[in-house]
Structure 1
Amino acid sequence: ASTHATDNKHHILLAASGSVATIKLPLIAAALAAHPTVSLRLLLTPSATHFLQSQSAEQPALESLAAIPRVDAIYQDADEWTVPWVRGNSILHIELRKWAHVMVVAPMSANTLAKMVHGVADNLLTSVIRAWDTTGLVDLYRKKLILVAPAMNTAMWEQPITGRQVGVLEGEWGVKVGGWVELLRPQEKTLSCGDTGNGAMYEWTGIVREVERRLGL
């Protein structure tokens, strides 16, 4: 991370967890990469990778996203511990935390939402979230944001436990109360499963605009 500290780039860590809305990740990445001052790194959970395996033009192979300009790297869980750790070696989820100026989780599945709120760190994505510098005092940088865009079935979104978890992100950790999380609430539409209701990910173009606004792009 230190080698990038003075590159004068906006470092965006763009992550996706297990939701159909992962198919919007290539569009988000390409739109953000249109800015020459941006440096992008992608991070996907194992479930998210199932949606980007060359199924269609809308779902290209994950590896092909490396060809998008300014995408510097693509990370998965297997990249965390590639060799037995010894003293002096870096730790990937900490390095990604240090490198990023902003983290965007789009989509954030119901599972990852629950993990974030309860502090579970059982994969690379949730380990970065759990290690996030929520005060700005550790990395000696202004408080850095995590933007999350939940996406899930309507019944999942409407469950009481989801409401309590959203309450933590907005009411306790949200930017409006001086926190570090900006939650982009899902929209109502007919979902891929055929159900109609709330739960579809915030429009991908809106996610791009929000990142641009936050970084002054």
Structure 2
Amino acid sequence: MTSKTPEQRWLLEQLQQVAEGVARTFAPFCEVVVHDLLDPSHAVLAIHNNLSGREPGDPATELGLARIQDADIDQVIANYPNHFSDGRQVKSTSVGIKDSDGRYIAALCMNIDLSVFQGFQGMLNQFVDLPGAAPAQETLDPVGADAIRARIDQFAARMATTPRALKAVDRRVLVKELKSAGLLEVRRAMEIVAGHLGVSRASVYGYAR
């Protein structure tokens, strides 16, 4: 074990606080591990939401050892495929922590058990499946409704928000754009816009003036 400087000890202490916060936020689906790369034989310093079965004091992973040997390895390696020892698929992200000398001293690793979400996905696919259903002969949506909603979604994305979180001033600009594009001529357009924005039809009429 390499003797640690006060700076390195402080960084490790702070990293453990970050790990605990991330783990609480994404429990129980995300395992969060703090690796002490200054002690590779006992690198696992802390582990939260334990999904892999490892324990504090376990040795460094291959990536941890690679960082010890090469400080030029990317600090953030995100969303790479991985797996637990029992074969479960995992999506992992590893963030390397360097000291002021540019040396890797620690890593924060997050491992998401994909089997849980794959199970959810399977249930949802089964739920929405319509086996043997005849082609739809009618629709409750007026022609053009999808185009209106898509245009609203695109506008909200440009604002880096969601349709229902748009501010009043932005909603006014949006409705003007919809009007200019002729989308307010669609049957029940005001009702469609109001429903997608989560506001009253009266408000939409007001934005359109």
Q: TM-score range by the shorter chain?
A: under 0.3
Which protein shows a greater Rg? 2
**TM-score of the superposition, structure 1-length normalised?**
0.24
Q: Which structure has more RCO (C-alpha within 8 Å, separation ≥ 6)?
A: 1
